[in-house]
Structure 1
Amino acid sequence: MSEVEQQPDADPRVGTSVLHRRYVPRSEAHYAGKLVDGAYVLRLFGDVATEMCIRTDGDEGQLVGFADVDFLEPVHTGDVIEAEAILLRVGNTSRELAFEARVLCRAAEHMDGRRPVSDSTSHLLEEPLVVVRASGTVVVE
């Protein structure tokens, strides 16, 4: 994600980022082709939003909504995915966040032109693949 420009009078928490990585297990397959539903990534965004609130406010906070969600690429079982949140704006009790999910590793069976050696063959991607972008709001007490 792009860097957040810090305004001179901005809250020093603006620009804070939180990053989680995890392997997408086979049990998350929801559709044919071992596709994972979009709600899986939205749950990851909820997790990074919770950590963001804990880090910046000492409160778990509550994710109250997404303003925009763009599903750009599919997520498959066997992917290694990272979800990132960046704090964009601090209100009295609300916080605006930018979210991005990226695939770092992908099972060979889901890569064009790659023939898997075995069911467990996987590859580190040359460049992370951005799969979902969103913005959202959390509220803290």
Structure 2
Amino acid sequence: MSDPRLGVSVTHRRYVPYGHAHYAGNLVDGAYALGLFGDVATEVCIRTDGDEGLFASYSDVQFRAPMRAGDVVEVVATVTRLGARSRTLDFVARVVCRGRPQGDGSAAEVLDPPIVAVTATGTVVVPASA
């Protein structure tokens, strides 16, 4: 019998504010994506175990494409393994909308397909009582 928590997926979307740009070209540092992964992992833990849980580790992080201020980023976490207290999650951050610098100051477009910016695998833990 399969555990219904296996395969649970949670999605968040977030506009990346210009205050988070740290580098030329309005690039955002990779830690921004890791913070978003922590947020979506918290919701996964609440939904699967009734507790916010704690992030324990990343076993893999791949920065595949830049994230920029003005992007709309979609972050997805999916439960891929269940232990007694640990949960392995696969993460992906995709840029789904991006500003168009060649347009006027507020021009932007929906990206089809989205750009995969960051992928990761991480482990969260929940209390034994959860």
TM-score by length of 1: 0.88
Equivalent position to 2:31, from 28, 35, 39: 39
CA RMSD, aligned part only? 0.7
Q: Which of residues 92, 96, 100 in structure 1 aligns to 2:88?
A: 96
The question of 1:73 aligning with 2:65 is answered yes
Q: Give the Å deviation of 1:10.
A: 2.9
Q: TM-score, normalised by structure 2?
A: 0.95
Matches within 5 A, 1:1-141: 9-109=1-101, 115-116=102-103, 118-141=104-127
Q: SS in structure 1 opposite 2:22?
A: strand
Amino acid at match of 1:139: V
Moved more, 43-52 or 118-127: 118-127
TM-fit CA distance, 1:119: 1.1
1:25 & 1:96 partners in 2: Cα distance?
A: 30
1:18-45 deviations in whole A, cap 9, x for unaligned? 0000100110101111000000000000
Letter in 1 for 2:108: S
Q: State the one-letter code of the partner of 2:35.
A: R
Partner Cα separation in structure 2 for residue 123 and residue 105 of structure 1: 6
Q: Which runs of 5+ in 2 are unaligned?
A: none
Provide the secondary structure at the position in 2 that maps to 1:48. helix
CA distance in 2, matches of 1:133, 1:10: 26
